[in-house]
Amino acid sequence: MDTLRSILVGIDFTSACKAALAEAVRISKWNQAPICAVHVIESLVLSDLEEAVGGHDPNFRETVLADTRAAWREFAGGISGAANVPIDLRIAQPAEGIAAAIAEYKADLVVMGVRGTSEGEGAGTLATHAARYASCQTLLVQPGHAGGFRRIVVAVDFSEPSRHALETAMRVAVQDGAEVHAIHIYNPPWFRLHYRSSTPQATSDYRKQFLDGLGRRLEQFCDPGDPEVQWVAPKFHVIDHRSHGEGIVEFALAHQADLVVLGTRGHTNLRDLLLGSTAERVLRSAPCSILAVPPNC
């Protein structure tokens, strides 16, 4: 399996960001990959501040950048291994600034705090945007997370994107010695056109045959071809749930998972996973960190 080659960590100086930075440093050491921090100063906010200051400080932007660098040195100095991480300061619209940095550094992983500066539970606006649209893997770290991941849930819908997610989950499990739960959320076909009223053809034997077939298909799909991960021995779960997003969240909560791995494109059950209501449910309600894996990563 490929190792990571370049890691970018988004910095907003929040508590969630501390956990993200510590995790990025840990992953960087494991993969021996270069790491860079990026902090985007919102251009509109800076312009408003400049207008408020007026012409009293012609070096206002330089002062802001110097103050931010000083804040970064103090922030990174409190996290083991982060003191020597370089930081790239940008003045831009936040989502555009992060996207540009990913492209310039050719990052194959961007790490961010799951909540950022947003209030309340769930993923913040910028974290959600990154998970949806970043061209590389995006790890959203929960506040307070420390050390390796112990229990990983990976959502499988038998598509090629979910295979990429599975391979990534296996790689993380190898690195951290974690257990992997591969889950397939399904909506029973005997309910789909009858408003959850079972069709006469859905006998108990038929249902058992259907579930046994899904279980075998899931195990075959997850059979690792790489000898390096043979020992991971994932556990398989076929779950009946009306909502794919809620099913993932409920399973992660019940099994005390600390990481959910999702493919960002799929078909059937996870169609438009990070483009619609399923994504909003997972990002808003997941009790753990989230790793979003786009195609071909």
Tens digit of each residue's pLDDT (9 = 90 or more) over 39-84:
999 998 888 888 887 666 778 889 899 999 999 999 999 999 999 9
Residue owning tokens 């840990």: 26
- Residue that terminates a domain, selected from 106, 141, 176: 141
CATH number at residue 275: 3.40.50.620
Residue with more model confidence, 119 or 86: 86
- The continuous run of DSSP H or E covering 112 comes out as strand 109-113
Residue type at 198? Answer: S
Question: Quick one: 286 and 158 in the same domain?
Answer: yes
Would you place residue 191 in the very low, low, confident or very high pLDDT band (cuts 50, 70, 90)?
A: low
CA distance linking residue 262 with residue 292, whole number of Å = 5
Question: Quick one: 41 and 174 in the same domain?
Answer: no
Residue owning tokens 């619209």: 93
Mean pLDDT of the chain: 82
CA distance linking residue 243 with residue 264, whole number of Å = 17
Question: Quick one: 287 and 157 in the same domain?
Answer: yes
Task: Write out pLDDT tens, residues 229-272.
Answer: 567 888 999 998 878 888 899 999 999 999 999 887 644 444 44
Nearest-10 Cα torsion for 182, 133, 246, 23: 60
Question: Quick one: 210 and 281 in the same domain?
Answer: yes
Report pLDDT for 229: 58
- Residue that terminates a domain, selected from 141, 164, 189: 141
Prediction pTM value: 0.86
- Residue that terminates a domain, selected from 91, 123, 141: 141
Number of domains in the chain: 2
Query: Which residue segment(s) compose the domain that 12 sits in?
Result: 7-141
Question: Quick one: 57 and 135 in the same domain?
Answer: yes
Question: Quick one: 213 and 111 in the same domain?
Answer: no
Question: Quick one: 33 and 110 in the same domain?
Answer: yes
Residue type at 151? Answer: R
Q: Which of 253, 285, 288, 283 lies closest to 132, judged by CA?
A: 283
Contact predicate 264/283, CB 8 Å: no
Question: Quick one: 167 and 79 in the same domain?
Answer: no
CA 242-243-247 angle, to 5 degrees, is 105
Question: Quick one: 40 and 101 in the same domain?
Answer: yes
